[in-house]
Amino acid sequence: MKDEFLQRYTRQMVLPDIGQDGQQAIHDGHALIIGLGGLGSPAAIYLAAAGIGHLTISDYDRVDLSNLHRQILYSDQDIGKKKTQVAGEKLRQINPSLKITSIDHRMSDDELIECCSNVDVVLDCSDNFVTRHAVNKACVANSKPLISGAAIRLEGQIGLFNLQKNSPCYACLYPEGNDEAERCSAAGVLGPLVGIIGSMQAMEAIKLLAAVGECLDGRLLILDAATMQWRSVKLQKDPDCPICSRPS
């Protein structure tokens, strides 16, 4: 390993659970991040900084003034620019060896399935149920782990789906059609809350790539930021789930 590599990641590699092999596994990793907003910003920053080899970043929005209180990839001067463009530049500044693939249009279901087939892990950092269900279907179709985050008002949650054959999928938890189409644009959210959840999504992705510890497989963590109470809910695969339990 080159000196620059060793020096950059020394505080990670000194961890016995990571070491050189874990760092190499992170370097060989490819993650897809859907949504470069409040969750996607810290998730992408931490994965880039941690030395992931390849990030595919997807967002079709432009930076808006009302994003800046929580979307920490962007600055005042970025208003009006494409989020993928600004994010790509910022992430390359953090880690020049990072390979970035940018997708700046709304992906069709087929495109999403194709995109998921090329990655090791998917981080859903979107803000709506239509996208979340489309991402879940693409992950199930490709048997890819899905790290799903959400935050609204003072409540956040994170779960890991599809890790193993008997793991629940997102639709086992939230069946399609029960969508309360509530977004933080209407309900509001505090910036550090999306920072907490997005950072945890990056943490789970790093653990997964480096095979460290125990992932959130089949568990949903729910944070009430008003009281700073966490709840851990065990999830079961729904034997009647039309997405992951369909007979093949």
Binding site for Zn ion (CB under 5 A): 169, 171-172, 241, 243-244
- Nearest alpha-carbon partner for 138 in 17, 32, 5: 32
Burial class of residue 96, CB neighbours in 10 A (0-12, 13-18, 19+) = exposed
> How far is residue 230's CA from residue 211's CA, in Å, rounded to a whole number?
24
> How far is residue 16's CA from residue 25's CA, in Å, rounded to a whole number?
14
- Give Dmax (Cα) for the chain: 53
In the complex with Zn ion, the residue whose CB is nearer, 141 or 241, is 241
Q: C-beta of 130: minimal distance to Zn ion in Å?
A: 17
Q: C-beta of 175: minimal distance to Zn ion in Å?
A: 9
Pairing of strands 30-34, 121-124: parallel
In the complex with Zn ion, the residue whose CB is nearer, 163 or 172, is 172
In the complex with Zn ion, the residue whose CB is nearer, 154 or 241, is 241
In the complex with Zn ion, the residue whose CB is nearer, 45 or 171, is 171
> CB within 8 A of 148, min separation 6: which ones?
124, 132, 135, 136, 158, 159, 160, 161, 170
In the complex with Zn ion, the residue whose CB is nearer, 114 or 238, is 238
Beta strand residue intervals within the chain, DSSP E: 30-34, 54-58, 99-103, 121-124, 146-152, 155-161, 219-224, 229-234
Q: C-beta of 177: minimal distance to Zn ion in Å?
A: 14
Q: C-beta of 171: minimal distance to Zn ion in Å?
A: 5
Instruction: Give the residue nearest to Zn ion (CB).
Output: 241
In the complex with Zn ion, the residue whose CB is nearer, 80 or 239, is 239
List residues bridging with 34 in a β-sheet.
58, 124
Tokens of 156: 């956040």
Q: C-beta of 139: minimal distance to Zn ion in Å?
A: 11
Q: C-beta of 242: minimal distance to Zn ion in Å?
A: 8
> How far is residue 28's CA from residue 34's CA, in Å, rounded to a whole number?
20
